[in-house]
């Protein structure tokens, strides 16, 4: 696992930008504390920070072919590189190292962009083709690793983190109002947008080609929901899943450094730990984050799983004073990010890094196997469709619009009035329409009537089935932009590599072939995954109620963190920005503090936005 960066000067000499590229690499030293490298080939400069995982002595980057015609920087792991290496050696290619990085050089020479179809792994890489003066870059299928870039007539820059691009003064920090509206709709900014107009994110499953000053994007993979021709019964699906997931776990145990697993006590991470225990030579190291508030704590369940498999188990208890690191987390995320589970993710990563360098996680289970409560949306709201659509829109919609912005039930009325719109998009904004009441008139004008639903619609191969369509959309957007972004940034902040067996693309494609009636049964999701897990997990884990990985925001913002939030969100800096109505933000804080309504989601998102603004807009890239 590493960090990459690059600078292309069209028609010029990239080495003239050596100091800029060095600064770009310095910004991401946490992603690669074990080594640094830079390479210049005419108009292209490649930079790398290394976290040594495989071939500790021979995998230094940037790496080039012996003739210097191809050079690459790479962040991630190629899990099937031993098989690809044997295939390429059969074609006459000679390898100088035992690193998976070298696969990219010879693989690109042999197959060109079709190399991407052969890779099984998590990756972002950028390859400079000197004879053709062409840069070819790609992001893995599911988006486990991020790539940011800036493109104009005078330069092309790319990096694993946006802060690297911002060291170049020519990259404008002008905020994108549309991206900010997306943030206050979902808690993250979907690709290709970022917080700044001048910077974009490469979408998962896409490649990027820069040549002659022109940029071309191409999609090379998408998940398609279609029946599996081999499986006839439920047991067939369970057996096939066990084979695929077992192989995915085994592939991810390849490492020259110590590894372990995150363990929450839920079905997903517990299944991964169970499969690891079956094939590991010694006890698995497991790590859990918990809270003093039992409503949010899963340490007991995690302990049950750890005891069942004899793991070497560690627990980290998160307290309100942990938010002293919030400015540091904002710096690592690069743009506003409102998923508060980033806090325990950071701390459990920090604890794990003291003992291991590689960690396995259960990420992806909810999206692939219909685990979210949101997937019961259609059934939950079906009764409201008994009311004629016109009546709902006029009666309930009008009632919702004339109610005060903070009136209880207002958001529910507006949602029910517009059920058809949600059905069409198969999305539900995480943040209710209260945001429009907080925006100033000037900020509203800058958004130009933007519809945030359009930012997360992906219809390329969207299935007709309602449940599958919601899974597809979450797999394409929520998973990479929230879940995987959170895990990447928080683990790499601690120089820890995270691997997700459930997101092996063979498992993802198989999960998409499971019939919807086997995904969710009797109102409960993860039916096939649960049947697999029941073969080896303790019964008390199988019967445990689903519990999200969240912090007790509501109580913290009514107690220990009340003054912290008030100080920042009523400050002169916050008021003068012109984005939000100060009197309504103050009223929201007051109502939350007295227990009238839970506004912790909004308080958290506003805090993150304000701290981000101070860090990246007001103060450039100065680290707090």
Residue numbers annotated as active site: 2
List, in order, residues 6 or more apart from 531 with CB less than 8 Å away. Answer: 234, 238
C-alpha angle with apex 504: 502 to 506, nearest 5 degrees? Answer: 110
Residues in the chain, overall count: 624
289 bridge partner residues: 316
- Nearest Cα to Cα of residue 59 among 39, 35, 40, 29: 35
Burial environment of residue 44 by CB neighbours within 10 A (0 to 12, 13 to 18, 19 or more): buried
C-alpha dihedral sign at 569, 575, 580, 581: positive
What number of CA atoms fall less than 13 Å from residue 33's CA on the CB side? 9
Q: How many CB atoms lie within 10 A of CB 106?
A: 22
Q: Any idea what DSSP says for residue 522?
A: T
| Angle, alpha carbons 105-110-113 (nearest 5°) | 75
CA distance 413 to 437: 16
Q: What is the DSSP letter of 322?
A: G
Separation of alpha carbons 14 and 412, rounded Å:
56
How many other C-beta atoms lie within 10 A of the C-beta of residue 428? 14
Closest CA to 292 of 316, 325, 257: 316
With vertex at residue 541, the alpha carbon angle to CA 538 and CA 545, rounded to the nearest 5 degrees, is: 160
Tell me which residue has tokens 């680290």: 623
DSSP percent split of the chain into helix, strand, coil, nearest 5: 45, 15, 35
Residue 316 in 3-state DSSP? strand
Token code pair at residue 479:
């998973």
By the 8 A CB rule, do 498 and 351 touch? no
The most distant pair of C-alpha atoms in the chain lies apart, rounded to whole Å, by 74
**Nearest alpha carbon to residue 302 among 319, 318, 320, 314:** 314
Judged on CB neighbours under 10 Å (0-12, 13-18, 19+), 587 is middle
Cis peptide before 301 (omega within 30 of 0): no
């Amino acid at each position: 696992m590493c960090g990459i960066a690059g600078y292309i000067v069209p028609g010029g000499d990239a080495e003239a930008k050596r100091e800029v590229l060095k600064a770009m690499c310095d910004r991401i030293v946490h992603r690669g504390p074990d080594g640094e490298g830079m390479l210049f080939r005419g108009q292209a400069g490649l930079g790398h920070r290394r976290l040594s995982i495989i071939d500790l002595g021979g995998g230094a980057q940037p790496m080039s072919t012996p003739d210097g015609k191809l050079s690459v920087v790479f962040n991630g792991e190629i899990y099937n590189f031993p098989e690809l290496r044997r295939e390429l050696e059969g074609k006459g290619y000679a390898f100088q190292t035992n690193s998976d990085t070298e696969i990219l050089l010879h693989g690109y020479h042999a197959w060109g962009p079709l190399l991407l179809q052969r890779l099984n792994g998590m990756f972002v890489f950028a390859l400079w083709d000197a004879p053709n003066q062409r840069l070819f870059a790609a992001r893995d299928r599911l988006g486990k690793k991020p790539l940011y870039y800036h493109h104009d007539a005078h330069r092309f820059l790319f990096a694993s983190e946006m802060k690297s691009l911002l060291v170049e003064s020519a990259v404008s920090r002008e905020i994108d109002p549309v991206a900010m509206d997306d943030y206050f709709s979902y808690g993250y900014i979907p690709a290709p947008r970022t917080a700044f107009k001048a910077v974009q994110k490469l979408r998962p499953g896409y490649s990027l080609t820069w040549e002659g000053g022109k940029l071309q994007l191409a999609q090379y993979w998408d998940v398609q929901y279609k029946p599996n021709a081999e499986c006839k019964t439920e047991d067939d699906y369970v057996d096939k899943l066990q084979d695929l997931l077992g192989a995915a776990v085994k592939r991810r145990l390849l490492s020259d450094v110590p590894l372990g697993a995150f363990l929450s006590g839920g079905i997903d991470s517990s299944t991964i730990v169970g499969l690891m225990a079956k094939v590991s030579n010694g006890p698995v190291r497991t790590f859990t984050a918990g809270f003093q508030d039992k409503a949010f704590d899963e340490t007991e369940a995690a302990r049950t799983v750890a005891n069942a498999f004899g793991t070497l188990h560690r627990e980290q208890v998160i307290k309100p004073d942990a938010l002293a690191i919030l400015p540091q987390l904002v710096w690592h995320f690069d743009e506003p990010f409102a998923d508060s589970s980033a806090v325990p993710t950071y701390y459990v990563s920090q604890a794990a890094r003291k003992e291991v360098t590689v960690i396995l996680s259960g990420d992806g289970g909810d999206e692939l196997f219909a685990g979210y409560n949101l997937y019961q949306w259609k059934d939950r709201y079906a009764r409201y469709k008994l009311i004629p659509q016109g009546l709902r829109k006029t009666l309930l919609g009008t009632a919702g619009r004339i109610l005060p912005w903070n009136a209880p039930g207002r958001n529910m009325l507006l949602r029910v009035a517009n059920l058809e719109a949600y059905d069409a998009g198969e999305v539900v904004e995480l943040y209710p329409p209260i945001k429009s009441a907080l925006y100033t008139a000037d900020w509203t004008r800058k958004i130009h009537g933007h519809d945030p639903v359009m930012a997360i619609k992906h219809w390329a191969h969207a299935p007709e089935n309602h449940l599958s369509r919601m899974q597809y959309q979450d797999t394409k957007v929520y998973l990479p932009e929230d879940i995987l972004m959170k895990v990447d940034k928080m683990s790499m902040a601690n120089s820890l590599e995270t691997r997700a067996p459930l997101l092996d693309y063979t498992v993802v494609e198989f999960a998409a072939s499971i019939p919807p009636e086997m995904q969710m049964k009797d109102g409960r999701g993860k039916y096939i995954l649960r049947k697999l897990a029941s073969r080896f997990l303790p019964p008390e884990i199988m019967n445990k109620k689903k519990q999200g990985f969240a912090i007790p925001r509501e109580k913290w913002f009514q107690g220990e963190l009340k003054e912290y939030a008030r100080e920042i969100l009523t400050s002169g800096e916050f008021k003068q920005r012109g984005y939000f109505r100060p009197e309504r933000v103050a009223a929201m804080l007051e109502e939350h503090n007295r227990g009238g309504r839970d506004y912790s989601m909004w308080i958290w998102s506003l805090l993150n936005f304000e701290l981000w603004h101070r860090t990246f807009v007001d103060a450039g890239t100065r680290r707090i």
